[in-house]
Structure 1
Amino acid sequence: MTSASETESWTQKLKKARRRFIKTRGKKLSRSLANFLGRQSLVGDTPVLDNANFPFLKPFTDNWQVILGETKEILKHRDDIPTFQEISPDQYRIATGKNWRTYILYGFGLKMEKNCRLAPVTTKLLEQVPNLQTAWFSILSPGYHIPAHRGVTKGILRAHLGLIIPREAEKCWLRVDNTINVWRPGEIFVFDDTYEHEVYNNTDEERVILLFDFDRPMNFWGRTLNNAFLRAMKFTAFYQEPKRNLETAEARMEAAIRRADKNMESLSDH
């Protein structure tokens, strides 16, 4: 007779096997679509793209110091900001320990209302980005290396805005395909994360950027196919599990901030 624990074990094994199968098939499908979506692009198909194609980027560079101020307030609660793999367990290969924290404003189709309240100006700017998909403050520890990896679909592009950058900036960079990109405070660039990319922070200082994803401008059939692919992704564990984890992490962050505020009030009273 099979025990409850054995049944649970088999259930978990089946779930893991199904997850691996879907993940593998999804990667193959997204890569088979890549060439078609690249040809549908209205902004070229290079690893790093020209900012001139995206006029909505200028308000971010114009207001980067305000965004930085909001970031510094959030970083006061650094220890309560979740790690990347806590939100998305599938990323265990590229995110380890406490080395990569992510304060998420938009993720997996959700606007994190409570998180966004701590960054009102940043949120207002993000609301002007056409077809925004995700957005978060990406906090990388000193000395950390994010191994080479690829994104899910060529139908989405990624922007990085430099905020807190190590003094030895040249030792902290992002490689996309064969291009090396160095972050600078207040500067922004856009890249296609389906090209192999990796990050090195070869300094003893933290690196913080605002990262956000948006739909690649494409012709009709490219947009249609990409939208269908993204809708299908929403039914997978790759999407559903992070969505649940986001809500939990947001509630935990809010509780931590409330505790900190109460502690400050107690100190003021004394």
Structure 2
Amino acid sequence: MSATRSPVQNPNRTLPRWLARFFFQCVEAAQRRIARSSLVGDKPIFDNAQFPWVEAIEAQAPAIAKELETILATPGRLPAFHEISPDVATITQDHQWQTFVFLGYGMRAERNLSRCPATAAALEDIPGLRTAFFSILSPGKQIPLHRGPYNGVLRLHLALKVPRQRENCWIEVDGQRYVWQTNHAVIFDDAYPHQVHNDTDETRVVLFVDFERPCKAPVSWLNKLLLAFAPLTPELQQAKTNHEKWERDYYATPAATTQRAANIPAANAPEVTPAAQVEQVEHAEHADSHRAQAVADERAHG
């Protein structure tokens, strides 16, 4: 099975509420055993040397960053994180934390992956991959202290776009602060309390990845089983539905049309001077006049 695929693909049903509650009770109970059986220890932030594949991912960061720039060219079309995953609304409800999703617990965004082939290739090399997306943090955005629901996965941030004043852009996990460095990765356990600050006037972007925590057997089997059932929970089913709707709209609407409607200029677009704007208006009026004359001629000879 590909590392980019969950054991449960495209689930077409949701666990009943009572069974979902039982599932989350099992998750809570399993966490103590996972912490004791972890092959990489139980700590907030890990040494990258414990994960031999990280160096290869970092080597691909420049190619991934180039693909990111094409996505950032139309920021007004990207969803806020809470618009995809409703649970995130408990910590953020503005549009300053945006995402571009590739994978998420049983869901593959094939069109997004095809737009970013270097990113897709890099993801294939991550063992036990469960989630992957570009995480885009606007200037001044702060994510308050919170914790993830399950320590059976670990999180990687591959820094792709870091503000120049990077000391003011950081993540703090259980009191340990990490400052992102371009083209470098950090791995941490998001089940520990953590918070994020971008106290700069520039955007920060990371490739955000969740992957299976390496554990001793038989706990590793239990972890895989719980992760296999996760896509059937109502929360992840809703996130899948939300993303599919966004994806349909995103690829159905030309970028230029959306930019005009939202009055958002594309990145690196040339500045339009007042004189040029007047010329554009005159050109449009001239074209409208020609169309009107053509209609009149057609009617006269109809």
Q: TM-score range by the shorter chain?
A: 0.7 to 0.9
Name the TM-score, length of structure 1 as normaliser. 0.84
2:197 aligned to 183, 191, 200, which one? 200
Conserved? CA contact 1:77–1:257, under 8 Å: no
Aligned residues with identical type, % of pairs: 38
Q: Deviations over 1:165-223 (max 9, x none)?
A: 11111111001112101101111010011111110111111111111111011112222
Q: Does 1:42 align with 2:59?
A: no
Alignment correspondent of 2:146: 149
Q: Does 1:112 align with 2:142?
A: no
Q: Does 1:32 align with 2:29?
A: yes
Name the TM-score, length of structure 2 as normaliser. 0.76
Distance between the aligned counterparts of 1:242 and 1:26, measured in 2?
A: 18
Q: CA deviation at 1:22?
A: 8.0
Distance between the aligned counterparts of 1:175 and 1:135, measured in 2?
A: 21
Distance between the aligned counterparts of 2:199 and 2:20, measured in 1?
A: 32
1:238 aligned to 230, 235, 238, which one? 235
Conserved? CA contact 2:105–2:230, under 8 Å: no
- Count of aligned residue pairs for this structure pair: 247
Which structure 2 segments of 5+ residues have no match? 1-15, 261-265, 267-279, 281-286, 288-302
Q: CA deviation at 1:256?
A: 3.4
Conserved? CA contact 2:74–2:255, under 8 Å: no
Alignment correspondent of 1:169: 166
Residues 143 and 259 of structure 1, relative CA distance in 2, 3 Å threshold: closer
Conserved? CA contact 1:108–1:242, under 8 Å: no
1:181 aligned to 178, 182, 191, which one? 178
Residues 146 and 27 of structure 1, relative CA distance in 2, 3 Å threshold: farther
Distance between the aligned counterparts of 2:193 and 2:135, measured in 1?
A: 19
Distance between the aligned counterparts of 2:44 and 2:77, measured in 1?
A: 34
Residues 42 and 237 of structure 1, relative CA distance in 2, 3 Å threshold: same
Alignment correspondent of 1:63: 60
SS of residue in 2 equivalent to 1:55: coil
CA RMSD of aligned residues (A): 2.4
Higher-Rg structure is 2
Distance between the aligned counterparts of 1:146 and 1:23, measured in 2?
A: 28
SS of residue in 2 equivalent to 1:48: coil
Alignment correspondent of 2:100: 103
